């Protein structure tokens, strides 16, 4: 059943004492590891059970230590402070004793935040869904190397897909429509994955290749409305062998529901 | 001696086992607490001694748990992973057993990163230093409530200082020139403070008042050149009782040397 594929892949089993067992699915492999967004969502799913009445990620900062592999993993969690409307939490994802990710997070209840909105940011200017380029059109060798592309429907805005035919724009922007398999409607935990699902924005600078994340901080600002998401990646500061990648996720109601910034290593030629 | 004021204020004493003693100086008080950027720099100063050959902050993510007070504090540090050119570190700042801040960080050696620069970001458009408005011109009650303004020379760009006379621009931008007392030249640890030294960007939205930081992630991208820094704060997404504040710090050589994003609570009227 496609409808529950995602929920199955991020499922965790409570082992007590803040420890959760996960099974990293090989459908999320990209290059030499497992997609960092999927890992973040798996950690985020465990953390949603740790502080009573605070099921939603508001801020998650993850430091990536080593590449994860498909198979069993443990998410160890700890409540740093639980008071008032938010809880500060810590988590570590390990595999066979090797630390893969260490993270800090703020959790709360997004149904209980004030409903004022004074956002000045504008939704990304993107071509209609029908005119965008589905990732399923990628060459077979790309699809084989990025199995995660089989997990969702991702359609790139034509204005920033030149890199796919050897003509990157050089602007440092990639935008796409996004929806999980089975038309599963988005939720706050899924957004943690969506923030790191697109190809590295360095593709648009003519630098293909894997760009390992050092650190990624996600802010989930609202529960997303049902339907397609629009995702934009942007970089403005490539220097010292590193670049920042800013991501925005907009929902079908034109609301900026999640933002992230990551610091990643520049791909090696 | 002004020249060493800053170094004195962020000084830490190694107590062994990764623990450092600090003395939070009351010259950094603002409102009901101690400035979050100063606290971040104090933590950052302790972390610079933890991993041999890796003295410089590259990424620091701090989660603020409770307001700090002037006086003794302990910074407990831990090496999460030290390998290759970077180390991942953890730190906690406590006072009398109360946790104030918990943090994760990546440290390295900024003298040893590649010297390629492909930054597309442009320096902020700001009036010349002589035409900007010094924070020392603030009303006496403001200076009394924000003692940190006595620690540095901060000169606001006139285009975004309308809030000081009851006419905020509504753009969500504040820019200023910045230099520590005694014309002390900036370094990577100081940048951790500079990223959170300006008034909350919500002043420019007509919302004066303290905006408590939930989370702040700083990226230090290069060692700053000597001289004045230019600092810009911007927000684009105020919703759900929270806002993001993006900060850029540019050095005298027109280099984007540090970036941060924080998630803060909207000031209460």
Question: pLDDT tens-digit profile of A108-157?
Answer: 999 999 988 999 999 999 999 999 999 999 888 888 899 999 999 999 99
Which chain B residues are closer than 8 Å to A118 by Cβ?
A: 205, 238-239
Sign of CA dihedral B32, B38, B40, B46: negative
Q: How many angstroms separate the Cα of B48 from the Cα of each of A265, B20, B45, B64, B219?
A: 21, 11, 5, 20, 15
Choose among B62, B116, B51, B61: nearest CA to B87: B51
Q: How are beta strands B33-34 and B29-30 bridged, if at all? A: antiparallel
Q: What does the pLDDT average to over B73-102?
A: 97
In a domain, B152, yes or no: yes
- Report the share of chain A in percent with pLDDT over 70: 99
Which residue range is the domain that position B243 belongs to?
2-110+125-265
Interchain CB contact of A106 with B (< 8 Å): yes
Average pLDDT over residues B49-64: 98
Among residues 181-220 of chain B, which lie with CB inside 8 Å of chain A?
A: 205, 214-215, 217, 219
Mean pLDDT of A155-171: 93
Contacts of B101 in chain A (CB under 8 A): none
Element housing A22 (H / E) = strand A19-24
Whether A116 is covered by a domain: the verdict is no
Nearest Cα neighbor of B216 from B231, B194, B238 is B194
**A84 occurs within a structural domain:** yes
Distance CA A152, CA B74 (A): 47
Residue A189 lies in a domain: yes
Residues 6 or more apart whose CB falls under 8 angstroms from that of A130 comprise none
Which pLDDT score, from 0 to 100, does residue B3 have? Answer: 55
* Gap from A238 CA to chain B (nearest CA, Å): 5
* Residue B31 pLDDT exceeds 90: no
B174: its two tokens? 């504040």
Q: Is the pLDDT of residue B190 over 70?
A: yes
Q: How confident is the model at residue A32 (pLDDT cuts 50, 70, 90)?
A: confident
Mean pLDDT value across residues A23-29: 97
Contact A119 B205 (CB under 8 A): no
Asked if B171 is an interface residue toward chain A (Cβ–Cβ < 8 A), one would say yes
* Phi, psi (degrees; rounded to nearest 5) at A115: -100, 20
Chain A partners within 8 Å of B106 (Cβ):
63, 214-215, 263
Asked if A225 is an interface residue toward chain B (Cβ–Cβ < 8 A), one would say no
- Cβ-Cβ pairs closer than 8 A, A with B, add up to 166
Asked if residue B239 belongs to a domain, the reply is yes
- ipTM reported for the complex, 2 dp: 0.97
Does residue B91 register a pLDDT over 60?
yes
Please answer yes or no on whether A104 and B102 come within 8 Å at the CB atom: yes
Q: Between the CA of residue B228 and those of A248, B155, B222, B246, B250, what are the distances in Å?
A: 32, 10, 15, 20, 9
pLDDT at B63 over 90: yes
Mean pLDDT along residues A204-233: 96
Residue B209: pLDDT band with limits 50, 70, 90: confident
Residue B119 belongs to some domain of the structure: no
* Nearest Cα to Cα of residue A215 among B67, B221, B74, B212: B221
Provide, as residue numbers in chain A, all residues whose Cβ is less than 8 Å from the Cβ of B244: 219, 259
In a domain, A30, yes or no: yes
B76 near B103, Cβ under 8 Å?
A: no
Cβ–Cβ below 8 Å for A239 and B119: yes
Within a domain: B120: no
CATH number at residue B21: 2.40.160.210
Q: pLDDT band for position B139 (50/70/90)?
A: confident
Q: Are B113 and A63 an interchain contact pair (Cβ–Cβ within 8 Å)?
A: no
The yes-or-no verdict on residue A208 having pLDDT over 90 is: no
Beta bridge partners of B88: B81, B106
pLDDT interval class at B1 (50, 70, 90): very low
Q: What percent of chain B has pLDDT over 90?
A: 89
The number of distinct structural domains making up chain B is: 1
Task: Output the pLDDT for position B188.
Answer: 98
């Amino acid at each position: 059943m496609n409808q529950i594929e995602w929920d199955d892949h991020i499922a965790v089993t409570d082992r007590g004492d803040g420890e959760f067992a996960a099974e990293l699915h090989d459908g999320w492999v990209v290059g030499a590891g497992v997609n960092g967004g999927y890992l973040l969502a798996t950690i985020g799913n465990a953390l949603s059970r740790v502080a009573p009445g605070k099921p939603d990620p508001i801020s998650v900062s993850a430091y990536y230590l080593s590449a994860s592999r498909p198979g069993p993993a443990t998410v160890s969690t700890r409540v740093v402070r639980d008071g008032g409307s938010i809880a500060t939490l810590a988590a570590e994802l390990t595999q066979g004793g090797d630390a893969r990710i260490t993270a800090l997070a703020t959790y709360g209840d997004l149904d209980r935040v004030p409903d004022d909105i004074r956002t000045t940011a504008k939704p990304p200017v993107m071509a209609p869904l029908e005119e965008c380029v589905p990732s399923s059109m990628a060459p077979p060798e790309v699809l084989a190397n990025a199995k995660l592309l089989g997990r969702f429907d991702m359609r790139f805005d034509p204005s920033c897909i030149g890199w796919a035919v050897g003509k990157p724009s050089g602007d440092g922007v990639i935008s796409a429509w996004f929806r999980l398999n089975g038309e599963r409607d988005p939720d706050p935990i899924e957004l943690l994955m969506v923030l790191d699902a697109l190809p590295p924005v360095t593709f648009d600078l003519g630098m293909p290749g894997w760009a390992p994340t050092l650190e990624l901080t996600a802010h989930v600002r609202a529960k997303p409305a049902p339907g397609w998401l629009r995702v934009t990646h942007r970089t403005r500061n490539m220097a010292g062998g590193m670049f920042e990648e800013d991501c925005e996720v907009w929902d079908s109601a034109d609301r900026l529901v999640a933002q992230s910034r990551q610091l990643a290593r520049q791909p090696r030629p």
